Amino acid sequence: MSLASKVRAWTSHQSSSAAYVDPACVYSPMRGRVVPLAELADGVFSEEMLGKGCGLWPSDETVVAPFDGQVTAIAKTGHAIGVTSRNGIEVLIHIGLDTVEMAGAGFRVKVRVGDQVTLGQTLMTFSRSKIEDAGYQLASAVVVTNSDEYETVDVLVNGQTARGQAIIGVAPPPAPQQSHA
């Protein structure tokens, strides 16, 4: 059974108040609709140049921490945030496509680089209307930027998601075999 199948099976039997947090998962930083990265109209994401992950069409304006960890990067324009989990999963949350061109208008960052954050803590807010009025797509990306360090990076959801729902699962590479010579 794949990691994605195991996580789907486990989460389907859990109540919304379950306290268990899987350290091998990235939880949704926004409410919205999960789509494959290949559907995003930006080759940097659709061709997985920054790593594997998913697209997310947000239905609200709040971005939360996808796990417990540390803020490791914030774009000067506030449209993207990097967070690293306690066990080393590096995630980029990029709001909208080409929104760097907005020069920060419509984005309000609530954290600083180096801050320790907890799953569900607000990282930033943004204005859907300002993004759309400026002519940009709301389609966002949630990308594991160190994907090459994992055996698999699986998207666990296709369709609607809630903040805090597991959307990406990672599996570390198998341990090296010890020779018994």
Give catalytic residue positions: 94
Angle (CA) 19-20-21 rounded to 5° is 115
Rounded to whole angstroms, how far apart are CA atoms 6 and 95? 29
Structure tokens at 128: 């859907």
Strands 152-155 and 166-171: what pairing? antiparallel
Rounded to whole angstroms, how far apart are CA atoms 119 and 58? 18
Q: Do residues 169 and 150 lie in contact, with contact meaning Cβ atoms separated by under 8 Å?
A: no
Rounded to whole angstroms, how far apart are CA atoms 27 and 119? 8
Rounded to whole angstroms, how far apart are CA atoms 139 and 19? 30
Q: Do residues 153 and 147 lie in contact, with contact meaning Cβ atoms separated by under 8 Å?
A: yes
How many residues in total does the chain contain?
181
- The separation between the first and the last C-alpha atoms of the chain, rounded to the nearest angstrom, is 33
